[in-house]
Amino acid sequence: MTYDLAGSWNSQTGHHTALYGSGSADTAVKYLQKQGVPASKIAIGTPLYSHGWKMKSLDGGIVGAPARSLSNDEKTWRSLQALEQKAVAEGTPGWHMGYDETAQAAYLWNDDPSSKDYLTFYTYESSRSLAAKLNYINVHSLGGLIVWQVHGDSPALGWPMITQMAEGLD
């Protein structure tokens, strides 16, 4: 299970499904292989939901910012797609998409003081971070991918995340 690596139990924002870094899919894979588990018996996970926080401020960065958990912190992947579509360019207040190149992890945050979502942060699996995981599985000859909360995908859009998973695995 390489998701839920950050969530309501943390007092700062973070990646709940990072591919790289401390507490990541890569860390788990390397640990299991060191214990003698063959790559073909290892599967990493992907969530089709998010975890969210309300940041205390925008001072000092977005990921790792002091924050409190949102009481209802999970959103489905398809609801996050609506927020991605609302994302605006840097320098314009509103929702922003972020991508941590090092961790290969996606996130969204809102910096519009007039919005009810001001200072809200969501960590989630995007199609881009999913592509990185699928590539990792193929390159490392892992056994596969575990999906949690498949209902988070969008049947109205033809199951894009599930389709990406099926097409992206060797």
For the chain, how many structural domains are there in total? 1
The answer to whether position 16 is within a domain reads no
**Structural domain range at position 91:** 25-168
Q: What is the pLDDT of residue 64?
A: 94
The answer to whether position 4 is within a domain reads no
- At CA 46, angle to CA 52 and CA 101, rounded to 5? 70
The CATH number covering residue 125 comes to: 3.10.50.10
pLDDT tens string 20-48: 999 899 999 999 999 999 999 999 999 99
The answer to whether position 32 is within a domain reads yes
The answer to whether position 2 is within a domain reads no
The answer to whether position 6 is within a domain reads no
Gap between the Cα atoms of 147 and 44, Å rounded: 9
The answer to whether position 13 is within a domain reads no
Residue 157 pLDDT grade (very low, low, confident, very high; cuts 50, 70, 90): confident
Q: Which residues pair with 134 in a beta bridge?
A: none
pLDDT tens string 109-148: 999 999 999 999 999 999 999 999 999 999 999 999 999 9
The answer to whether position 8 is within a domain reads no
Q: What is the mean pLDDT of residues 2-13?
A: 91
Structure tokens at 112: 């519009």
Between 95 and 8, where is the model more confident?
95
